[in-house]
Structure 1
Amino acid sequence: MMDADTMVLPRLGDAVVEDPWGEDRPRRAAARAATAARRWRIAAWLLPAALTGALGAARITASAPSAGELATRRAATSSWPGIGAALTGDEVALGPYHLLLRAWAALFGAADLALRVPSLLAMIGAAALVGALAARIATPAAGLAGGAIFAVLPTSIRYAQEAQPYALAVFAAVLATWLLVPALDRPGPRRLVPYAGAVLLLGLCQPVALLLLAGHGWIVLAFRRRVAVRWLAAVVLGLIPVAALLASGLRDGGHLASGVRPGAAVLAATPGDLFGVAALGGVLAGLALFSLPLRYAAAICTAWALVPALGLLALAQAAPVWSAANLLFTVPAWAVLGGVALSRARVAGAVAVLALVALLAVAAQLPG
């Protein structure tokens, strides 16, 4: 065979080198950075959710049912005509939750574990949204730290293991705030309608938690006044069904929420009741100070943490509604502020504070 008829395959080493001058190097570096940032944003919500799930599932059936859980079980095992009575009378605030648990029990049974699973799932979702919210308004590092703080708090674990509506209200509060941020930046129906849905969910889970809207309203008036009318329209859309339900129940003698009138001793005990131990409240309050100044991002959670508490305090002067459980929906705000503060610290300092929070949380749950 002649040389001209012979096919010569080039060796790999003879291949022309692409981009010999390194012109694509910045683009490849940007692509790697974007991929890494995307992974950190995923970790910011995924890891807190996994941690909450693990801590909440551990010993979920160890405690005996509380009085509130016994009421939930009675509702979950009653007949459908009987459960309808929960929408009026003294149970007005618990009626929608009891209806939900009645449907849940029809599918999964009314054992302690089955009735507590919705609360566990709600807290897992809340932890994921805490991480996602902190990552959205600050950095993925803030999301990881804030989500971890929320996950290890004794009250997060406790209410993840109780068949009561508080965990669902926490989830709805975080969801509403998470949806508020993009809705205020681009206030179209595509974003405001889901926000209205979250407001509706919050009101059905825990009517007194609608005090969150006072915090949202402060943010709108302080930073996004031009969208106030559209925000208010979304709020009204979410509140109409809740208002109709509450009006019917209150007219029949029901009450908005259970609690006490806030004396000095009650107020002093609130941080310990709200966070599981008073020292944790002190740590989170200190971290919140380091998340200032009150720029838009940090102010969202500052208003969420403080304005509803002040509103409940004012409301409690007229009716006995003050309790830590009625303020549980503000706990994620403190966790986000703590995460934002830790994201600004050095790694060693942030790890030390997270270890302190975890240590205090574990100590609070040890039998005394």
Structure 2
Amino acid sequence: MMDADTMVLPRLGDAAVEDPWGEDRPRRATTRAATGERRRRIAAWLLPAALMAALGAARITASGLNAAESATRRAVTSPWQGIAAALTGDDVALGPYRLLLRGWVELFGAADLALRVPSLLAMVGTAALVGALATRIATPTAGLLAGLIFAVLPTSIRYAQQAQPYALAVFAAVLATWLLAPALDRPRRRRLVPYAGVVLLLGLCQPVALLLLTAHGWVVLAFRRRDTVRWLAAVLLGLLPVAALLAVGVRDGGRLASGAWPGAAVLAATPGELFGVAVLGGVLAGLGLFSLPLRYAAAICTAWALVPALGLLALAQAAPVWSAVNLLFTVPAWAVLGGVALARARAAGVLAVLALVALLAAAAQLPA
């Protein structure tokens, strides 16, 4: 069967119907207009990155290290034998991250701020990539809105201020998705090798976040079936080192993910834990309904938002692995879908929704 960009939704007549907002239409621009377009594209990633940096840096050392961060400090400042033990204990999923952080600590020390800066930098980079990805999918306006939404989410700020691997995993998930489309459109080695490298980084930071590959695989099968073998080769190139590193720990009883059984109460609490407040999850889900996969690029983010959650739910039937933190890498997808939807609205509606998101996010940051 030939690949096509309309395998998810049926063809409705002509290209104008498939692209009702005109986001795929070529634009003729004068030199002045082209300059303005470049500035908007730069602003779409620069402003979210700056906002994320400001929000993440504010009060980053106001609280001391929590129990998990303290364990990280002990691991990265212990003799090398202690790092090796982490790969064979209950914290096998954290072992690779602690290996990565060990090199950082050798350069910058193990103070609270030094331990948390890698997470802050990862979230700043993520906000920039969210803006750039939404710009590629739709318009610079969509990119700016998506990046701003991601930057103000309470969970983005929270994990930017923790010496834990989750911020790096979120960054790797966005970067992998950013690299997916060009790797499939022009499947040359120089495009597939970076994708494989980011898959490796994702697995090192948070093995359960490799569920992202289920979404990528669905996109490949639905839209680029002829490139399945190339994509699988790149995935295997990234997965094999991760599998080799974690195999010993899993064999000795270590866990790749922890969480709970997905009962009704646990599932009901997930939106609030994932977005910082349950209403924010409802707002982003509502916006996502207006960003259905009418086009190939948007379908990538739709799959990214939904398919890994279904995969985790399936895994949770066999082991207690359901938790919001294990789905944190899907939050940027919801921000992208929200930005794309808002970019199609009138200015008054955009301002109202942004104000609502900002108020809800600010309320979630207030002390209880």
Q: Same-fold call, TM > 0.5?
A: yes
How has the CA–CA distance of structure 1 residues 181 and 60 changed in structure 2, closer, same or farther, with 3 Å as cutoff? same
CA shift, 1:59, in A, is 0.2
Whether 1:238 and 2:238 are equivalent positions in the alignment is yes
Where do 5+ consecutive residues of structure 1 fail to align? 1-27
Where do 5+ consecutive residues of structure 2 fail to align? 1-27
Counterpart of 1:215, as a letter, is: A
Residue matched to 1:151 = 151
CA shift, 1:230, in A, is 0.7
Query: Which secondary structure state, in structure 2, belongs to the residue aligned with residue 93 of structure 1?
Result: helix
> Which moved further from structure 2: 251-260 or 200-209?
251-260
Q: How does 1:245-284 map to 2 (within 5 A)?
A: 245-284=245-284
Residue matched to 1:91 = 91
Q: Aligned partners of 2:159, 2:231: CA distance in 1, in Å?
A: 31
Q: Aligned partners of 1:110, 1:275: CA distance in 2, in Å?
A: 29
Q: Aligned partners of 1:74, 1:142: CA distance in 2, in Å?
A: 43
Whether 1:51 and 2:51 are equivalent positions in the alignment is yes
Residue matched to 1:13 = none
Q: Aligned partners of 2:104, 2:75: CA distance in 1, in Å?
A: 11
Counterpart of 1:61, as a letter, is: T
CA shift, 1:82, in A, is 2.1
Residue matched to 2:103 = 103
Would the aligned equivalents of 2:287 and 2:342 in 1 still touch at CA under 8 Å? yes
Query: Which secondary structure state, in structure 2, belongs to the residue aligned with residue 297 of structure 1?
Result: helix
CA shift, 1:295, in A, is 2.5
Would the aligned equivalents of 2:293 and 2:302 in 1 still touch at CA under 8 Å? no
Q: How does 1:1-368 map to 2 (within 5 A)?
A: 30-368=30-368
Q: Aligned partners of 1:64, 1:276: CA distance in 2, in Å?
A: 20
Q: Aligned partners of 2:117, 2:180: CA distance in 1, in Å?
A: 28
CA shift, 1:32, in A, is 1.2
Query: Which secondary structure state, in structure 2, belongs to the residue aligned with residue 357 of structure 1?
Result: helix
Query: Which secondary structure state, in structure 2, belongs to the residue aligned with residue 89 of structure 1?
Result: coil
CA shift, 1:293, in A, is 4.4
Q: Aligned partners of 2:313, 2:95: CA distance in 1, in Å?
A: 25
| Percent identity of equivalent pairs | 84
How has the CA–CA distance of structure 1 residues 29 and 241 changed in structure 2, closer, same or farther, with 3 Å as cutoff? closer
Q: Aligned partners of 1:29, 1:103: CA distance in 2, in Å?
A: 48
Q: How many aligned positions are there?
A: 341
CA shift, 1:248, in A, is 1.6
Query: Which secondary structure state, in structure 2, belongs to the residue aligned with residue 311 of structure 1?
Result: helix
Cα deviation digits, residues 248-291 of structure 1 (max 9, x gap): 21012111111111100000000000000000000000000011
Q: Aligned partners of 1:96, 1:294: CA distance in 2, in Å?
A: 39
How has the CA–CA distance of structure 1 residues 86 and 352 changed in structure 2, closer, same or farther, with 3 Å as cutoff? same
Q: Aligned partners of 2:180, 2:95: CA distance in 1, in Å?
A: 27
CA shift, 1:81, in A, is 2.6
Q: Aligned partners of 2:164, 2:193: CA distance in 1, in Å?
A: 27
Residue matched to 1:15 = none
CA shift, 1:62, in A, is 1.1
CA shift, 1:80, in A, is 2.0
Q: Aligned partners of 2:89, 2:250: CA distance in 1, in Å?
A: 7
Query: Which secondary structure state, in structure 2, belongs to the residue aligned with residue 254 of structure 1?
Result: coil
Counterpart of 1:251, as a letter, is: R
Q: Aligned partners of 1:274, 1:239: CA distance in 2, in Å?
A: 26
Cα deviation digits, residues 267-323 of structure 1 (max 9, x gap): 000000000000000000000001124421221111001000000011011111111
CA shift, 1:79, in A, is 1.3
> Which moved further from structure 2: 50-59 or 241-250?
241-250
Counterpart of 2:168, as a letter, is: L
Would the aligned equivalents of 2:199 and 2:238 in 1 still touch at CA under 8 Å? yes
Q: Aligned partners of 1:190, 1:351: CA distance in 2, in Å?
A: 42
CA shift, 1:329, in A, is 0.3
Counterpart of 1:202, as a letter, is: L
Counterpart of 1:245, as a letter, is: L
After TM superposition, which residue ranges in structure 1, 4 or more long, deviate above 3 angstroms?
A: none
User: Structure 1 length normalisation: TM-score?
Assistant: 0.91
Q: Aligned partners of 2:189, 2:289: CA distance in 1, in Å?
A: 35
How has the CA–CA distance of structure 1 residues 293 and 217 changed in structure 2, closer, same or farther, with 3 Å as cutoff? closer
Counterpart of 1:160, as a letter, is: A
Measured on the aligned residues, the alpha-carbon RMSD in Å equals: 1.2
CA shift, 1:200, in A, is 0.5
Q: Aligned partners of 2:293, 2:327: CA distance in 1, in Å?
A: 24
